[in-house]
Structures are given as C-alpha cells and as structure tokens.
Amino acid sequence: MERYARIERKTNETDIKLELVIDGEGQSNLDTGVPFLTHMLDLFTKHGQFNLTVAAKGDTEIDDHHTSEDIAICLGQALLEALGDKKGIKRYGNAFVPMDEALAQVVVDLSNRPHLEIRGAEFPAQKVGTFDTELVHEFLWKLALEARMNLHVIIHYGKNTHHMIEAVFKALGRALDEATTIDPRIKGVPSTKGLL
Ligand SMILES: [Mn+2]
C-alpha cells in the first residue's frame, strides 16, 4: 500500500494543498509563494526520496511567516497520516550533511512525542531573499508538532546563512528517509510499549 497523504488547509491567512508520498523518487512540484522555502523543500524532497506537491497561496504581502508556518503544519500532518500505524519503520534517523563550510546534523524519532531542540542556529544574516531566517525555527517546530516527532537539529558550524539552512533541510530529508524506511526484520512497531 502506498504511503501517501493529501492535506488541504484553508484559513484567512493561507490556502494550502499538499501531497506527500513517502516512498517516492525525490520529485517535487512546488508553488509555495516563498522562493527560499521552495528551494529548501525541493532539497528536502530530493534527499528524503519523497514526492512532494505543494500549492500554497498566502499573505506573503505581509511577510513569509503565515505561509511558512502553515506549510510546515500541512507537511507534518501529511507525514503523520502517510505513516499510518508505523508498523515496520526504523523510527529513528540521523544524518550529517555538509554544505561547503557549514555542517548540520538532524536526528529524528518518530515517537509520537513532539519535541524540538535546536543548537547552533544563530544565523549571521536575518534574511535570505525575502525569507526571515527566524522562520527556520518556526517551520521546524510546527513540523515536529504536527508530525508528532522528536526533532533535534544541530548546526555544528557555518558562516553562510544560506548554506547553514540548506544543510539543515538536506539533513532533515535524509534523517526522515531513514526513520520512515520499512525494515523487514521489524515486526509490528519498534517500541517496547507496542504503540507509537
Ligand atoms: Mn542553495
């Protein structure tokens, strides 16, 4: 059975349609209205071997906040829904990704216990394109919350803000690819509680 979810979410601030295939080919079809976020989700999809479609209209005339936050909410919901009962998944994922001078690490646990820890995300620049770099935290927190995952993000070092954030999104894709992978040795869910 294909691990797939489609989420539609409409508020006074944003109107989002998002489709996620977990076992994909790294293909994305993205119209987010936030160019830097489009770039990041494209990398995330490629490195996570997902397929991701996003059609978002938001109040970007104000800033990118609502649109970025709400795309994260939809992506988190899609991930949770597509994973279903989580039977056979590896559950944990860990990835280091360098991007030129920057090195990021992302560790995830699809634990049903939402949590976010971030270290080293003191970005030299406040903006990349139109994108406020403080939205990285907002995006990751809403994603962790809605996907009900424990997400640890460590930027070990870096000087260029674009590189630092790019390394995070690539590592996020790779860590989630590992965590969502089905391991045929695992019968049921990988938890001594018997439930995730
Ligand atoms: Mn780039």
CA 114 / ligand 1 centre spacing (Å): 29
DSSP state of 82: H
CA 171 / ligand 1 centre spacing (Å): 14
DSSP state of 87: T
Burial letters for 26-49: b for 16+ Cβ neighbours within 10 Å, e otherwise?
bebebebbbebbbbbbbbbbbbbb
pTM score: 0.97
Average pLDDT on 165-180 reads 98
Q: Is the CB of residue 22 less than 8 Å from the CB of residue 66? A: no
When pLDDT is cut at 50, 70 and 90, the band that residue 193 belongs to is confident
CA 167 / ligand 1 centre spacing (Å): 9
- Cβ neighbourhood burial of 185 (10 Å; 0-12, 13-18, 19+): exposed
CA 81 / ligand 1 centre spacing (Å): 30
CB 111: neighbour CB atoms within 10 A?
Answer: 17
pLDDT at 195: 87
CA 39 / ligand 1 centre spacing (Å): 7
